[in-house]
């Protein structure tokens, strides 16, 4: 009985260790995400909001001022020409234009 309990406890510890390892892996950004966040810091505007950064570095953002989308997309395109390329960012206006 005691031997069986020790075996179960050992198995629970192993499952916990694997789950902890997988959770730690999910927290870290990919190099493309780190680059996208750095570019967002340089290319965003006061009326744009970062929505998400995908694993491949694609940025999705919301904008309210009419020219902001083009300005941000152009800034990212210029950065991709002179540095490591990332997928084109996706900008959209919130429903209702606000």
Report yes or no on 73 lying in a domain: yes
Determine the 3-state secondary structure of 59 from DSSP. Answer: strand
Given pLDDT bands bounded at 50, 70 and 90, which one contains residue 55? very high
What is the rounded CA–CA span in Å between residue 67 and residue 2? 71
Report yes or no on 79 lying in a domain: yes
Report yes or no on 76 lying in a domain: yes
Report yes or no on 24 lying in a domain: no
Q: Are 39 and 77 in contact (CB under 8 A)?
A: no
Would you report the helix, strand and coil content of the chain in percent, each value rounded to 5?
Answer: 55, 15, 30
Mean pLDDT within 19-48 = 84
Report yes or no on 36 lying in a domain: yes
What phi and psi values does residue 52 have, to the nearest 5 degrees?
A: -165, 165
Report yes or no on 72 lying in a domain: yes
Q: Structural domain of residue 85, as residue ranges? A: 31-92
Mean pLDDT for all residues in the chain: 83
Report yes or no on 5 lying in a domain: no
From the list 23, 22, 50, the residue with the least C-alpha distance to 36 is 50
Domain count, the chain: 1
Report yes or no on 25 lying in a domain: no
pTM score of the predicted model: 0.68
- Per the listing, tokens 């493309």 go with 32
Q: Residue 48 is encoded by which pair of tokens?
A: 């744009």
């Amino acid at each position: 009985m005691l031997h069986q309990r020790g075996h179960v406890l050992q198995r629970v510890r192993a499952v916990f260790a694997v789950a902890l390892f997988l959770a730690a892996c999910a927290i870290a950004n990919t190099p493309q995400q780190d680059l996208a966040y750095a570019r967002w810091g340089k290319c965003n505007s006061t009326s744009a909001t970062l929505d998400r950064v995908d694993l491949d570095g694609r940025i999705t953002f919301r904008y309210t001022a009419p020219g902001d989308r083009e300005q941000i997309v152009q800034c990212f395109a210029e950065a991709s020409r002179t540095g490591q390329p990332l997928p084109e960012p996706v900008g959209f206006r919130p429903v209702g234009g606000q």
